[in-house]
Structure 1
Amino acid sequence: MLDLQEKVIHEARQGEAYAPFEGDPNPYRKKFYIESYGCAMNFNDSEIVASILNDEGFGATRNMEEADLILVNTCSIREKAEQTVRNRLNVFRGLKKDRPEMLVGVLGCMAERLKAKLLDEEKLVDMVVGPDAYRSLPALINEADGGQKAVNVLLSREETYADIAPVRLDTNGVSAFISIMRGCNNMCTFCVVPFTRGRERSRDPHSILAEAQDLFARGYKEVTLLGQNVDSYYYTTPGSEEEVTFANLLALVAQVSPQLRVRFSTSHPKDITDDVLQTMARYENICKCIHLPLQSGSTRVLQLMNRTYTKEWYLRKVDRIREVLPDCAITCDIISGFCTETEEDHQETLAVMAYGKFDLSYMYAYSERPGTLAQRRYPDDVPEEVKKRRLIEVVDLQRQLSQQNFEQEVGKTFTVLIEAESRRSDQDWSGRNSQGKVIVFPKEQYELKKGDYVIVKVHSATSGTLIGKIESIVEW
């Protein structure tokens, strides 16, 4: 009998669970243009949509003026993101005046919440499609072509798109996303995701592993496993007692090849386990970087957010990561000005940031989202000028922490995956180390290409980039 990991690898290699995309069989009769906003999940969803459209004879274009179909994959996490999408939709409405046959559709998280406004009141779009309804796109396009209002925003408890091979859009040919689960069961009071993406469900590990193997076979050297909360990944084979946890899945993907780097995002502090940390320590190609959203350093505010942990618990988790993975980078999310946040709460957040010494943070002023638990329960009572001032202080502190973290890397040597030429000079390469830090270094006399690994010694640093020099090439 094969054990579970061997069985998953064996079945995936037999092609039972996943058919890789081999190029569209149709001549592309029409063209689609797609823009994506928000999280990495949205960008990965756009690649799933591209695969579905390819099968219907639509080819991608970067020129919106020549598109027969324009799609906007939307984000509702903050008001600014929604306003950006509205501005783009007004641009596309202007294009339709000259080409009334062009169709415009909204995908993703804004779809369910604003379907009536977008279709009827503002007449900005011809179709509205939710995150779990992309398979219905061909039928919806036909409906919109016939002048009907085309809508499908139904959420699913089963849909994972496991059998659809994404078409990699705007890829560097080195790094790719793999969605491992959809939806979220965490009811954080500030977050709209559970209402726009539905309940949590994990994807079949056979299809995940086979997608990783296919990407590696096509020359990709890094995959990022995506989910709203990857640490809660859990899959049981129907009719079997076999189970796969996130730690198991990480090990499976790491075993595809030592040349394939594995990243993941996002982790919820309450769910990241010692098993995950020990698996990261065991495999060199699992990158030593964990995104561990904090949101607030105040236990009182964390309780209002329904984050299910205290400040002290979070700090102990940071300590445990440092203990098991001393060289691990930790990145973070911070929300300034959540409902009832006091100056003391804000100072606690700054203190936790200083203790955690985060390598990078994604920092925002609180933006009340309609339909969330916070909008229904708590007044958005922190004045905008106070939110902005506190956010500036958070950003300033993170800039100092990042500068310190980058300066500490000077003199160290790292294995770097080459991702692209430097934006500033075609005489330099740019890549990242295991901790996710960008390193720029001269090409010199070496004959290298994207996807190669090199050993680089760092000799200087800015607050966001390491500068180094090649010491050797990694030979496999």
Structure 2
Amino acid sequence: MNEEQRLQAGLIKPGIEKPANKVEKDYSKYFETVYTPPSLKEAKKRGKEEIAYHDDFRIEERFLGMGNGRKFYIRTYGCQMNEHDTEVMAGIFIGLGYEPTDTVDDADVILLNTCAIRENAENKVFGELGHLKPLKLEKPDLLIGVCGCMSQEESVVNKILKTYDQVDMIFGTHNIHRLPNILHEAYLSKEMVVEVWSKEGDIIENLPKVRHGNIKAWVNIMYGCDKFCTYCIVPYTRGKERSRRPHDIIQEVRQLAAQGYKEIMLLGQNVNAYGKDFEDIDYRLGDLMDDLRKINIPRIRFTTSHPRDFDDHLIEVLAKGGNLLDHIHLPVQSGSSDILKIMARKYTRESYLELVRKIKAAIPNVTLTTDIIVGFPNETEEQFEETMSLYKEVGFEMAYTYIYSPREGTPAAKMVDNIPMEVKKERLQRLNALVNEMSAEAMKPYKGKIVKVLVEGESKRNPEVLSGYTEKNKLVNFKAPRSVIGEIVEVKITEAKTWSLDGEYIGVVEEDKVMS
């Protein structure tokens, strides 16, 4: 198929950077034409390119029925944003006529939706690709694809091209809506299909979704990140910050409420920056939350926050309560101003603590959780102790803790990783001991209390026990009829553990009490 035929078939869009369809022997030349590698210098120039909004997604008629008699399997790595992307891709597959399957063995298309945050996540993907090679040899017509954040990294795409010839297609985070075209091309081509756009992604509305269950739902409110923390690859893989229009989000949440969903999680790499890119209206996350709290849905959460953009108006709106929950995840990363400066977090220990003070003053019963990195380049013992003391001072009830590892393409990767691994592990161990201790303390007051629990299903450890989460995101296990799955129930806590609560089922909460 020549270029003119590909253009007519819709496999190349005029005016858009040409995606690749052939593996060239000269890889450097290949990437010069279709791919821009992560570059801090180039990425910081972002913003001149106009973001287009499309509300007319549809599967072209020529692709309908492509999946008839075929099955798809998607394995998802990483964050909730990736999980949401998987829901969209599953929706597109269903629209094409494919059926889902829970195993790779009977799949006709296998997609690995990847994460680039940590090296370990990438190694898992490469390991899985190795495991899939015998299956590809057994089933030559099987399509194997790599998508997600790893696909946006030049080094990763190079490695796949050179080493993993069992892969049929690679595509990025910006062009998920092009999945029908990519599949079509993969079926036609005898070479690896690569479509990774270096352009910023547009906003595509009306994408089909196959949501996990009917109790909780994820709703993207924005994409990308402009913060450029020195350790983070996300601004390069996900692109610049771009917000969905308010009416599209509000309409989606209203539809989910009408369908009976009990909890909504608003998603964004930096949700607090929502609306900053609007030029025609003054509308930020606080305004959106104020509108969403009027919708008849019991629980609304959001993640992930960046302290720099957590403004006073948002605090004021969250203090109104109702279905806006008083659990806030507020990543701090370090308790040392000097380390925060090297991380390019653009706030200090003091300003973070002032933000916490404002939040607690407005929402006295707030529960705060966080993310922390230990062993960042040049972190001294004293600076690590500052993180420990900040954790105690804030009174966090939980934290996701990580050992620093460099990510290729980030500024921090050029720094000397001068903290020995044994020191990193020892610091992580001490931090985790504190996290466990404070979590256990935070759980103790729940004993004897009655809490409202959104029941999600059977406990992972005991099918005779149900489990769910409180407004403050505490896991509760209890025995009750399976008929209450998906309901908000009252449970009296009988035992408080470090990370979960055990209780006795009382009954289903009346709808008016749920919304009060």
Q: TM-score normalized by structure 1?
A: 0.89
Tell me the CA shift for residue 116 of structure 1. Answer: 1.9
Return the alpha-carbon distance in structure 1 between the equivalents of residues 58 and 454 of structure 2.
25
Pairing 1:412–2:449 present: yes
Tell me the CA shift for residue 83 of structure 1. Answer: 0.5
Return the alpha-carbon distance in structure 2 between the equivalents of residues 357 and 230 of structure 1.
23
Return the alpha-carbon distance in structure 1 between the equivalents of residues 143 and 216 of structure 2.
31
- Provide closer, same or farther for how the CA distance between residues 19 and 151 of structure 1 changes in structure 2, counting only shifts above 3 A: closer
Equivalent residue number for residue 284 of structure 2: 245
The Cα offsets for residues 134-174 of structure 1, whole Å up to 9 and x where unpaired, read as 12222222222221321111144352332213211xx2321
Pairing 1:107–2:160 present: no
Q: Partner amino acid for 2:83?
A: F
Equivalent residue number for residue 305 of structure 2: 267
The Cα offsets for residues 418-475 of structure 1, whole Å up to 9 and x where unpaired, read as 22133344443322111111122232xx784222122223232000111223444321
Pairing 1:63–2:108 present: no
Pairing 1:76–2:116 present: yes
Q: Partner amino acid for 2:455?
A: I
Tell me the CA shift for residue 365 of structure 1. Answer: 0.4
Pairing 1:382–2:425 present: no
Q: Is the 8 A contact 1:203 1:235 kept in 2?
A: no
Q: Is the 8 A contact 1:20 1:211 kept in 2?
A: no
Aligned residue among 164, 175, 180 for 1:122: 164
Pairing 1:228–2:269 present: yes
Q: Is the 8 A contact 2:484 2:508 kept in 1?
A: no
Q: Is the 8 A contact 1:459 1:468 kept in 2?
A: yes
Q: Is the 8 A contact 1:130 1:155 kept in 2?
A: no
Q: Is the 8 A contact 1:17 1:206 kept in 2?
A: no
Please list, as runs of the form range in 1=range in 2, the aligned pairs for 1:163-174 lying within 5 A after superposition. 163-168=206-211, 171-174=212-215
Tell me the CA shift for residue 280 of structure 1. Answer: 1.7
- Provide closer, same or farther for how the CA distance between residues 249 and 400 of structure 1 changes in structure 2, counting only shifts above 3 A: same
Pairing 1:467–2:502 present: yes
Pairing 1:147–2:182 present: no
SS in 1 for 2:203: coil
Return the alpha-carbon distance in structure 2 between the equivalents of residues 205 and 148 of structure 1.
42
After TM superposition, the structure 1 stretch with the greater mean CA deviation from structure 2, 196-205 or 433-442, is: 433-442
Q: Partner amino acid for 1:401?
A: M
Q: Is the 8 A contact 1:18 1:211 kept in 2?
A: no
Tell me the CA shift for residue 278 of structure 1. Answer: 2.0
Q: TM-score normalized by structure 2?
A: 0.83
SS in 2 for 1:194: helix
Return the alpha-carbon distance in structure 1 between the equivalents of residues 476 and 58 of structure 2.
33
Pairing 1:395–2:436 present: no
Tell me the CA shift for residue 207 of structure 1. Answer: 1.8
Please list, as runs of the form range in 1=range in 2, the aligned pairs for 1:309-458 lying within 5 A after superposition. 309-376=347-414, 378-443=415-480, 448-458=483-493
Equivalent residue number for residue 7 of structure 1: none
SS in 1 for 2:495: strand
Return the alpha-carbon distance in structure 2 between the equivalents of residues 129 and 380 of structure 1.
31
Tell me the CA shift for residue 245 of structure 1. Answer: 1.1
Tell me the CA shift for residue 236 of structure 1. Answer: 7.6
- Provide closer, same or farther for how the CA distance between residues 341 and 447 of structure 1 changes in structure 2, counting only shifts above 3 A: closer
Q: Is the 8 A contact 1:136 1:152 kept in 2?
A: no
Q: Is the 8 A contact 2:145 2:168 kept in 1?
A: yes
Q: Is the 8 A contact 1:119 1:127 kept in 2?
A: no
Tell me the CA shift for residue 412 of structure 1. Answer: 2.8
Equivalent residue number for residue 187 of structure 1: 228
Equivalent residue number for residue 205 of structure 2: 162
- Provide closer, same or farther for how the CA distance between residues 276 and 220 of structure 1 changes in structure 2, counting only shifts above 3 A: same
Q: Is the 8 A contact 2:201 2:239 kept in 1?
A: no
Q: Partner amino acid for 2:401?
A: M
Q: Is the 8 A contact 1:399 1:463 kept in 2?
A: yes
Return the alpha-carbon distance in structure 1 between the equivalents of residues 471 and 73 of structure 2.
34
- Provide closer, same or farther for how the CA distance between residues 18 and 331 of structure 1 changes in structure 2, counting only shifts above 3 A: farther
Return the alpha-carbon distance in structure 2 between the equivalents of residues 18 and 143 of structure 1.
22
Q: Partner amino acid for 1:38?
A: G
Please list, as runs of the form range in 1=range in 2, the aligned pairs for 1:82-97 lying within 5 A after superposition. 82-97=122-137
SS in 1 for 2:319: helix
Q: Partner amino acid for 2:418?
A: D
Q: Partner amino acid for 2:69?
A: R
Return the alpha-carbon distance in structure 2 between the equivalents of residues 155 and 202 of structure 1.
19
Return the alpha-carbon distance in structure 2 between the equivalents of residues 38 and 220 of structure 1.
24
Equivalent residue number for residue 26 of structure 2: none
- Provide closer, same or farther for how the CA distance between residues 105 and 381 of structure 1 changes in structure 2, counting only shifts above 3 A: same
SS in 2 for 1:282: coil
- Provide closer, same or farther for how the CA distance between residues 127 and 197 of structure 1 changes in structure 2, counting only shifts above 3 A: same
Q: Is the 8 A contact 1:301 1:341 kept in 2?
A: yes
Aligned residues: 451
Q: Is the 8 A contact 1:165 1:211 kept in 2?
A: no
Segments of 5+ residues of structure 2 without an aligned counterpart are 1-53, 512-516
Equivalent residue number for residue 88 of structure 2: 48
Equivalent residue number for residue 14 of structure 2: none
Q: Is the 8 A contact 2:376 2:417 kept in 1?
A: yes
- Provide closer, same or farther for how the CA distance between residues 155 and 226 of structure 1 changes in structure 2, counting only shifts above 3 A: farther
Q: Is the 8 A contact 2:268 2:303 kept in 1?
A: yes
Tell me the CA shift for residue 234 of structure 1. Answer: 0.2
Return the alpha-carbon distance in structure 2 between the equivalents of residues 330 and 19 of structure 1.
39
- Provide closer, same or farther for how the CA distance between residues 173 and 189 of structure 1 changes in structure 2, counting only shifts above 3 A: same
Q: Partner amino acid for 1:121?
A: T
Q: Is the 8 A contact 2:55 2:204 kept in 1?
A: no
Q: Partner amino acid for 1:230?
A: V
SS in 1 for 2:240: coil
Equivalent residue number for residue 259 of structure 2: 218
Segments of 5+ residues of structure 1 without an aligned counterpart are 1-15
- Provide closer, same or farther for how the CA distance between residues 25 and 144 of structure 1 changes in structure 2, counting only shifts above 3 A: closer
Tell me the CA shift for residue 17 of structure 1. Answer: 6.7
- Provide closer, same or farther for how the CA distance between residues 427 and 67 of structure 1 changes in structure 2, counting only shifts above 3 A: closer
After TM superposition, the structure 1 stretch with the greater mean CA deviation from structure 2, 155-164 or 206-215, is: 155-164
